[in-house]
């Protein structure tokens, strides 16, 4: 079955999900993985779709035109075969919290360290909170450590950054428990 990635974003209001999924349902699309959330005032949807017959973007025709008319931006992309399933990520899971007074250049230095250490970010959220006078930046990262890397090594690398950036950083291990 051919898989597609569909992303939709637009000013948040009730009914977006219903409109989108009605179109997908009538087309005969399956929704596999999906994640939808509010970012700023926007509702952002990311969906992995499959369809038993459709092979190309063109076959969707003007199906999504009503969404565009409703002020939503729609982007459809065909996945390469196999692109719908994730490679097995095996390693210790950790949560990294980064927060502090808002300033330029918080995300990149943290991400750079993780990238250099071959740490795989599986989830990342950032949010600007606090008051307009005292904005606070909060970033939450869920990541998987490569085999052989201890969480302490990551902690000490991030500790150095903590001083440079003047932000608070905490790393903790998450052990999923099978009960």
Which residues contribute to the site for other proteins (CB under 8 A)? 93, 95, 123, 125, 127, 138, 140, 142, 174-179
Residue among 84 and 142 whose Cβ is closer to other proteins: 142
Q: Which is nearer to other proteins, 62 or 133 (CB)?
A: 133
Contacts of 46 by beta carbon, 8 Å cutoff, 6+ apart = 5, 6, 7, 34, 35, 36
As a whole number of angstroms, the distance between CA 147 and CA 158 comes to: 19
User: Apex CA 171: angle with CA 167 and CA 175, to 5°?
Assistant: 160
Give the nearest distance from C-beta 37 to other proteins in angstroms. 8
CA distance linking residue 72 with residue 79, whole number of Å: 22
Distance CA 127, CA 107 (A): 11
Asked if residue 77 lies in contact with residue 117, where contact means CB atoms within 8 angstroms, the answer is no
* Minimal distance, residue 14 CB to other proteins, in Å: 16
Pair 4, 74: CB distance under 8 Å = no
DSSP-derived secondary structure letter, 56:
S
Q: How far is the CB of 130 from other proteins (least distance, A)?
A: 10
DSSP letters for 118-149: T-EEEEEEEEEEE-SSSEEEEEEEEEEPPTT-
For other proteins, which is the closer residue by CB, 67 or 95? 95
Q: How far is the CB of 97 from other proteins (least distance, A)?
A: 8
Please identify, using beta-carbon distances, which residue of 87 and 179 lies nearer to other proteins. Answer: 179
Q: Of the two residues 55 and 101, which places its CB atom closer to other proteins in the complex?
A: 101
For residue 138, the minimal CB distance to other proteins (Å) is 7
């Amino acid at each position: 079955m051919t898989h597609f990635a569909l992303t939709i974003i637009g000013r948040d209001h009730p009914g977006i999900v219903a409109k989108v999924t009605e179109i997908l349902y009538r087309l005969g699309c399956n929704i596999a993985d999906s994640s939808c959330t509010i970012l700023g005032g926007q509702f952002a949807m990311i969906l992995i779709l499959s369809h038993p017959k459709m092979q190309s973007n063109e076959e969707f025709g003007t199906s999504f035109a009503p969404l565009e008319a409703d002020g939503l931006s729609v982007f459809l992309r065909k996945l390469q075969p196999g692109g719908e399933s994730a490679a097995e990520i095996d390693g210790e899971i950790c949560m990294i919290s980064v927060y502090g007074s808002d300033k330029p250049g918080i995300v990149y230095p943290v991400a750079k360290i993780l990238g250099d250490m071959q740490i795989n970010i599986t989830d990342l959220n950032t949010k600007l909170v606090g008051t307009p006078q005292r904005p606070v930046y909060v970033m939450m990262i869920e990541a998987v450590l490569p085999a052989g890397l201890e969480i302490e090594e990551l902690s000490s690398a991030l500790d150095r950054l903590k001083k440079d950036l003047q932000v608070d950083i905490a790393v903790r291990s998450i052990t999923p428990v099978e009960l």
